[in-house]
Amino acid sequence: MSDLETPWVQPEAPWAASEHTTSEHTESAEAPWAATEQTTSEQLIEPFATQEGFDESPFASELQTETENELLLEDVAHKCRPGEGPPAAPGGARPLIHQSTAAVRSRNATVGYAQQLLNRFLEQVRGGTMACADTRPATLQHIASLHQQLKRNGQDPLVVDCRFGPSTDLATKMFQACHGLLRDGKIGPRTWAVLERLAGTEPVRPDPVPPVPTPTQTVAVREDVWTLSRQDPWHPTIRFYAAAVGAMKALGARLDSADPKSWGFLANIHNEQCEHGNFHFLSWHRIYLHHFEKVAREAVVRLGGPATWALPYWNYNAGNRDDSRSLPPAFREPTLPDGRTPNPLFEPQRGAGFNDRSRPTLLAANNIELTALDELAFTTPVRGGFGGRTPAGANDLGDPGQVELEPHNLVHSMIGRVMGDPATAGLDPIFWLHHANIDRLWETWLARGRGRANPTDTRWTTRSWTMGNGTARTQMRTSEVLSISAPPLSYRYAVLEDPVPTSREAELEAVSQFEHEARPPEVVGATPRPVAIGSQLSVANVSIARPTGPMAEMADESGPKPGTRVHLRLENVTATRLGAEVVDVFLNVPDPARARDMPEHRVGAMPMFGVVRASKRDARHSGGGVSATFDITDLVQRLREKGQWDPAQLRVAFVPVADAEGRVPDGDVAVGRVSLFFS
């Protein structure tokens, strides 16, 4: 189906009238966000007010008064406001305070008092004058690592807002680590006793003038869409997103829309300019999200929403809860709660079951694993590192980074259809939340420390992009977007939620620390010709030779020695027509027909996102397809232990993954070469 013929174009959408509206839209201005500046609160409430469960609209009260939910928008409903200065020391016994949903624990003047004391501690940290009781290197390194996170949150010093949030929690843990206290982030009697010693400490730089509001004080907070959805499927942040999407679609829902603030135009930027398969992937998409968020926020404000509205993110890994792996309810409903107004967040062209309202298809848990976070380098010679391999020159000799492959590409491919094609992906409202999550994972990766850092290569830092035009134009270079909490970006993530590093991190640390100084990766085997992947099982045999270069001493006749990393590469994957959106890859399965029953042989999944695009020879692609690298060191070790590793031969099985309805379309996907590397 052509991009321009897709049925998601809704020319009769009822929110179609605005100052940009063309005549074909003007007669259907019934939706609440239809009239832009003229929109009233009553109009906004209306579609949400009649559905079961919404008989008393949740928005009605929220639009009149501030509620708990509004606090998520960095509200000003606390007893102290950012920049007002610290509250005085409270009288009486010091209460236990910590991160909590209870105001008595987390939102009161005592918290502001503690924040002020913690700021004195942070002043000492910055000045290198902190007097820690625990001076072990590991502790100091831990404190430095937390300090980095704090700085990335734009919270050094803490904004004294009387709210015990994640940053106050971090500062508390730093303080506790320094003073040998239990690092639980709770300020109880023991922590208070030590913390209040700072009360007598004069600030290093007393500032008699009222504090000048800093850019960090208007930092918008990107929240997890599932956290919001569990509070209310139509939480204000989601509701305003829906309203903004509706307004943007009204300006033009097709990819050829000319209005730079229209939905189609914004999606088409991804179609025409997106950077994939090299080390610009993360920075380009960060700038793209920022551009989109600016336009969307403008629409939100025009519709009566808060100026601090921020794009939510979709954390499909959140808390190991299964429902996080499904699309949030607001994205699955064909209509708004009134039961008749089409829902702008609904995209009918999604993979089987993803829009199911009662039992939605879940993203496969083993395709959204966060092992990319274990990577220590942003870019590495073979597997692309975390963020992607450095392209050679102006063109694309690069490789995707691990976070681009999984979860990024796999989520695109699993949802499929509109999301499964880079040309149309931006038309699905979930696209933006998915990318906000990828952007959050970049921050999470950096926050892990242990040498993780962005590239300093000037080809990366000085690369500049221009998006949009006229009244909606963004021109930025990568170096401007490396601190998300500082202008011009000015946002942060509510929670980074870093999973526990796997043992692979330590292994990688051992081999990657001096990767550029150490032995180069060496090919030890490859298929002599391409491998076709149809709708059924395909098998490729790879003859393995013993390495003869610098890796020779890292392997013997039985295979790689301990300490050697083993990588399976699928190179030059091309297609003009996709079959399965995802292909599972297995190694040395005794009976390939039963590969699916042997998850212990699974290498991973190859997403087909962008394969057709990268196989075309056009202004942005060389036609060489895409490549993917899998670290199979642990799998090889397990196979050796089971006696299923043949040092002379590797058998790779490709199993196309059927959709939720059991279908695997015919395609012409081919893997140009399957190769094995030691490093």
List residues near other proteins by CB under 8 A: 381, 391-397, 459, 463, 514, 516-530, 543, 545, 547-551, 553, 571-572, 617-624, 627, 672-673, 675
The pair of structure tokens assigned to 103 is 């105001």
The pair of structure tokens assigned to 298 is 């403008």
Query: Least distance from C-beta 451 to other proteins, angstroms?
Result: 19
Query: Least distance from C-beta 553 to other proteins, angstroms?
Result: 8
Number of residues in the chain: 679
Query: Least distance from C-beta 566 to other proteins, angstroms?
Result: 16
| Cross-strand pairs, 560 | 555
Comparing CB distances to other proteins, the nearer of 620 and 640 is: 620
CA distance 513 to 505: 11
Angle at 617 between CA 613 and CA 623, to 5 degrees: 70
Comparing CB distances to other proteins, the nearer of 459 and 596 is: 459
Residue 277 burial (10 A CB sphere; 0-12, 13-18, 19+): buried
The candidate with the shortest Cα–Cα distance to 372, out of 274, 282, 283, is 282
Comparing CB distances to other proteins, the nearer of 348 and 549 is: 549
Output DSSP code: residue 290: H
Comparing CB distances to other proteins, the nearer of 74 and 631 is: 631
CA distance 281 to 19: 35
CA distance 641 to 203: 61
CA distance 244 to 574: 37
Output DSSP code: residue 309: -
Comparing CB distances to other proteins, the nearer of 553 and 600 is: 553
Query: Is the distance from CB of 288 to CB of 410 less than 8 angstroms?
Result: no
- DSSP-assigned states of every residue in 532-592: EE-SS-EEEEEE-----SGGGGGEETTEEPTT--EEEEEEEEE-SS-S-SEEEEEES-SSG
| Cross-strand pairs, 626 | 573
| Cross-strand pairs, 15 | 29
The pair of structure tokens assigned to 534 is 């149809």
**Residue keyed to tokens 């239809």:** 34
**Count of Cβ atoms closer than 10 Å to residue 657 Cβ:** 17
CA distance 331 to 340: 15
| Cross-strand pairs, 669 | 533
The pair of structure tokens assigned to 46 is 């209306």
Comparing CB distances to other proteins, the nearer of 253 and 671 is: 671
Query: Least distance from C-beta 621 to other proteins, angstroms?
Result: 7
Query: Least distance from C-beta 608 to other proteins, angstroms?
Result: 18
Comparing CB distances to other proteins, the nearer of 219 and 382 is: 382
Query: Least distance from C-beta 672 to other proteins, angstroms?
Result: 3
Comparing CB distances to other proteins, the nearer of 573 and 653 is: 573
The candidate with the shortest Cα–Cα distance to 402, out of 480, 540, 505, is 505
Omega within 30 of 0 (cis) for the link into 488: yes
Return the H-helix or E-strand segment holding 137. helix 137-152
Query: Least distance from C-beta 442 to other proteins, angstroms?
Result: 23
CA distance 294 to 453: 27
Return the H-helix or E-strand segment holding 193. helix 189-195
CA distance 511 to 513: 6
User: φ, ψ for residue 386 (rounded to 5)?
Assistant: -75, -45
Comparing CB distances to other proteins, the nearer of 124 and 679 is: 679
Query: Least distance from C-beta 209 to other proteins, angstroms?
Result: 45
CA distance 521 to 678: 6
Comparing CB distances to other proteins, the nearer of 27 and 553 is: 553
Query: Least distance from C-beta 514 to other proteins, angstroms?
Result: 8
Query: Least distance from C-beta 376 to other proteins, angstroms?
Result: 18
Query: Least distance from C-beta 181 to other proteins, angstroms?
Result: 44
Residue 358 burial (10 A CB sphere; 0-12, 13-18, 19+): exposed
User: φ, ψ for residue 221 (rounded to 5)?
Assistant: -110, 120
Comparing CB distances to other proteins, the nearer of 359 and 617 is: 617
The pair of structure tokens assigned to 627 is 């490549």
CA distance 595 to 587: 9
Comparing CB distances to other proteins, the nearer of 348 and 520 is: 520
Query: Least distance from C-beta 349 to other proteins, angstroms?
Result: 29
Comparing CB distances to other proteins, the nearer of 411 and 526 is: 526
CA of 142: how far to CAs of 261, 531, 621, in Å?
44, 48, 44
Strands (E), 342-471: 464-469
Query: Least distance from C-beta 548 to other proteins, angstroms?
Result: 5
Comparing CB distances to other proteins, the nearer of 514 and 558 is: 514
**Residue keyed to tokens 């995802």:** 582
Comparing CB distances to other proteins, the nearer of 438 and 650 is: 650
CA distance 403 to 413: 14
Comparing CB distances to other proteins, the nearer of 34 and 542 is: 542
Query: Least distance from C-beta 556 to other proteins, angstroms?
Result: 16
Query: Least distance from C-beta 617 to other proteins, angstroms?
Result: 6
The pair of structure tokens assigned to 97 is 């305070």
Query: Least distance from C-beta 381 to other proteins, angstroms?
Result: 8
Query: Least distance from C-beta 650 to other proteins, angstroms?
Result: 12
Comparing CB distances to other proteins, the nearer of 381 and 534 is: 381
